[in-house]
């Protein structure tokens, strides 16, 4: 495997916090990231205890791996070792050019494609799984571009963001992000990453999240409206659902929020968004769509 510090030196660059550039340089973390595509991946705790994790078969389809934010290629190198084909998206022109030079042999062999551009705007290829150390400033937008693709994802986020993704109802971390993320996949926080694993160290600790796609255990007729409705109610999370529905018609797009209040169950109306399970949001969103006259229908 290529040495991450050597890659940075050959690229002649330094991470720039102002540009959301923090290069992952801890070899042990880099080596573990692709293993989280396995159902029983070896954990950092195994390594710390001195246990030798058994070799395991990778469960996810690794025929075409997608990496968002390739940087100097330390993770790219490890993905090439497990994937038949890798596509990396890098928005920094100099880094994209370095990747083309550093991995010229892999590109010539058809194993690697480098796309220069913004991951929120470029056309993404058909991929089978993604392992990425995301730029934190746009990590939410990128994640919600990837979730609808319904592919296994191993993504690096800020620790606080990751904890909100996996949070359960009636916890302080539970919110719109929890409901929206868990709508698409089973979400698991698989490892916390110290600041010192990066160059330069970011201001906050990081975490690795694994998302395995699955259908939710509730029916949603209009996914776009459901997600918008959840967003609306969480903007008033300290209010009862009754008042949140009334106060957020401009966000949810409901022309007749009062009709939803009149039709909804009183037990639900007394709750607050932070106590609502995803299934309850789904049922209420369907009712809102049926009687509240969304303006975009």
133 forms bridges with which residues in the sheet?
156
Secondary structure (DSSP) of 48-64? HHT--PPP----S--SS
CA 288-140-234 angle, 5° bins: 35
Q: Is there a binding annotation on residue 266?
A: no
186 in the same domain as 71: yes
- Long-range CB contacts for residues 165-170, cutoff 8 Å, separation at least 24: 165/189, 165/209, 166/209, 169/274, 169/275, 169/276, 169/277, 170/274, 170/275
In-domain check, residue 177: yes
136 in the same domain as 72: yes
Question: What is the number of domains present in the chain?
Answer: 2
Tens digit of each residue's pLDDT, the chain (297 residues): 999 999 999 999 988 777 778 899 999 999 999 999 986 655 555 555 444 333 334 489 999 999 999 999 999 999 999 999 999 999 999 999 999 999 999 999 999 999 999 999 999 999 999 999 998 889 999 999 999 999 999 999 999 999 999 999 999 999 999 999 999 999 999 999 999 999 999 999 999 999 999 999 999 999 999 999 999 999 999 999 999 999 999 999 999 999 999 999 999 999 999 999 999 999 999 999 999 999 865
Q: Is there a binding annotation on residue 117?
A: no
Q: Is there a binding annotation on residue 22?
A: yes
Q: Is there a binding annotation on residue 69?
A: yes
Q: Please report, for the domain that includes residue 238, its CATH number.
A: 1.10.8
Among the listed residues 102, 120, 122, the one whose alpha carbon sits nearest the alpha carbon of residue 112: 102
Q: Please report, for the domain that includes residue 200, its CATH number.
A: 3.40.50.150
CB atoms closer than 10 angstroms to residue 238: 9
Q: Is there a binding annotation on residue 133?
A: yes
CB atoms closer than 10 angstroms to residue 148: 10
This prediction has a pTM of: 0.90
Q: Is there a binding annotation on residue 84?
A: no
Contacts of 101 (CB under 8 A, 6+ apart): none
Give the residue numbers spanning the domain of 101.
4-213
């Amino acid at each position: 495997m290529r040495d991450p510090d050597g890659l940075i030196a050959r690229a002649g660059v330094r991470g720039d916090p102002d540009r959301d550039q923090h290069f992952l340089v801890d070899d042990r973390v880099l080596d573990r990231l692709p293993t989280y595509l396995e159902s029983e991946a070896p954990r950092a705790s195994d390594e710390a205890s001195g246990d030798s994790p058994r070799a395991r078969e990778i469960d996810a389809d690794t025929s075409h791996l997608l990496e968002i934010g390739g940087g100097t290629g330390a993770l790219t190198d490890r993905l090439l070792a497990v994937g038949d084909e890798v596509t990396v998206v890098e928005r920094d022109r100099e880094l994209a050019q370095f990747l083309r030079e550093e991995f010229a042999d892999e590109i010539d062999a058809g194993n690697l494609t480098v796309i220069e551009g913004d991951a929120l705007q470029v056309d993404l290829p058909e991929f089978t799984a993604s392992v990425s150390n995301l730029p934190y400033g746009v990590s939410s937008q990128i994640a919600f571009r990837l979730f609808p693709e319904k592919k296994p994802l191993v993504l690096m986020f800020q620790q606080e963001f990751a904890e909100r993704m996996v949070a359960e109802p009636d916890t302080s971390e539970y919110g719109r992000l929890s409901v929206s993320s868990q709508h698409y996949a089973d979400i698991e926080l698989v490892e916390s990453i110290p600041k010192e694993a990066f160059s330069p160290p970011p201001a906050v600790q990081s975490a690795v999240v694994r998302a395995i796609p699955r259908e939710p255990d509730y029916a949603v007729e209009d996914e776009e409206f459901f997600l918008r409705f959840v967003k609306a109610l969480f903007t008033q999370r300290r209010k009862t659902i009754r008042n949140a529905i009334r106060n957020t018609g401009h966000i949810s797009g409901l022309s007749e929020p009062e009709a939803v209040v009149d039709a909804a169950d009183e037990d639900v109306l007394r709750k607050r968004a932070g106590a609502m399970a995803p299934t309850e949001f789904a049922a209420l969103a369907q009712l809102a769509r049926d009687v509240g006259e969304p303006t975009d229908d």
